[in-house]
Structure 1
């Protein structure tokens, strides 16, 4: 028997066992290919448009529409839509920004940070919206743009507050440190201020969205597999994976909001560090 035949025979034995157990040729788990969906428009060009871009466009459009509807006829006694928007603004102002910086400084940055919070939440939540089912932040490009936005802002306010030389001195040569330690500390501070802060902001966000999407796909793909392809008692496992899928959906909603909170909280910290005299 040839090597090819032996390999086919071994494969057949393995497939036969799992075919008897599951009623098919095996379960195919989700992979990173989930984040590279086929093009919907302009395939093979720099303007290629796929399902993730569609999720971003839908999220941005819906967010702009909802905010416009909430503020177009703002009243002293807010209606339901205006009330929800004011509740979110107050949450960002009171529970995030003013927890980090003074009220005077907070007033300057609440509009920016509220916009950032709403945008990240909207792009994250598309991961659990039926027929979209993927977060707009599940590819690194958009989180990087948001992180660069924060990076440029805290550099800008720091330089404006202290001057270029003053900001570099404040950031790279922290006060109260023995001069000999600067040989080790200054390169680390340089990497932190100019590279690690924006990089970790983006990486934390995209990592959580990737993990959440893969968990949901795994649960619901397994549910479909067990209900429609498995045989015998294995079909009952579909109820377990379906329940897990719904539980992870609720958890993913929580993570979507939590990651918006964490991103904005850290952005507030970085901005505050840029305008403080010492840190």
Structure 2
């Protein structure tokens, strides 16, 4: 009995993921406004990845595209046809295509670092980048509306036409909160929370696999096969979430711009 207790006590406890992983220590310029930690470096790498991919795919454009050019063109056409022109049409779509394309591919690149070995955390899993992109979407929404109807945009947004005047005391505060306050926060939270949950689940599965295989006693090691399978399965699922979140962010940004360009504004 004493031997069994001693063996159990010798097994290191399982330590799961924690929220502290999203706040790693500084690597460069600690304590300054330019502090750089692991997540910042991952963000730099994601931006570099975008630049390299598009440079390689477009440096020698040909009528008969190469494989790299075809992949880049497919990505660009996906955003142009299925998001921008589908919602804004060709005329307005041409104006906002660079913005929506940048948002889509930036979110994809920042998200995909969460499943790349040795990086293992998304650049969008900390609120800074999602909030920045949400602010850009918000500014584009305001710009589109004011540009289309300088004198009517805010008035029609806060005082919708056709509503009895007595109801404006209720409708106007609701429209102000939902249109000008809630939208950037929902864009931000939807993206950052998905990336946080995805990271925590992946770390849970793979650290669990490591613990079962190398630390757990006896037959408990067999559970490592299960957590490993779940880890790989969830990695595939996370790849879908990565692209889906980029699509949702881009399409919501486009929808907001479309609403700002609507005729009633």
TM-score (norm 2): 0.94
> Residues 257 and 43 from structure 1, CA distance in 2 versus in 1: closer, same or farther, beyond 3 angstroms?
same
**Does the aligned pair in 2 maintain the 1:74–1:82 contact within 8 Å?**
yes
Residue 243 (structure 1) aligned to one of 229, 236, 239 = 229
Task: Give the secondary-structure state (helix, strand or coil) at the position aligned to 1:200.
Answer: helix
> Which residue matches 1:39?
26
Q: Number of aligned pairs?
A: 263
Q: CA deviation at 1:251?
A: 1.0
Match among 196, 207, 228 for residue 214 of structure 2: 228
Gaps of 5+ in 1: 1-15
The aligned counterpart of 1:141 is 128
Equivalent residue for 1:107, pick from 90, 94, 100 = 94
Gaps of 5+ in 2: none
In structure 1, the residue matched to 2:146 is 159
Offset of 1:172 from its aligned partner?
1.0
| SS of the residue 1:217 aligns to | helix
1:38-117 pair list within 5 angstroms: 38-117=25-104
Report which stretch shifted further, 73-82 or 51-60: 73-82
Most deviating of 142-151 and 187-196 = 187-196
Distance 1:124 1:18, change over 3 A: farther
Deviations 1:108-156 (A, max 9, x none): 2122111110111000000001111100001001111111111111101
Pair 22,137 (structure 1): closer, same or farther in 2 beyond 3 Å: farther
CA shift, 1:42, in A, is 1.9
Q: Distance in 2 between matches of 1:171 and 1:94?
A: 28
Runs of 4 or more above 3 Å deviation: 16-23
Deviation at 1:25, TM superposition (A): 4.2
Q: Which stretch shows the higher mean deviation, 188-197 or 40-49?
A: 40-49
Partner of 1:127: 114
Secondary structure of 2:34's aligned partner: coil
Tell me if the contact between 1:18 and 1:25 (Cα under 8 Å) persists in the aligned partners.
Answer: no
Q: Which residue of 1 aligns with 2:154?
A: 168
Q: Are the counterparts in 1 of residues 12 and 215 from structure 2 also a CA contact under 8 Å?
A: no
Post-superposition offset of 1:22: 8.8
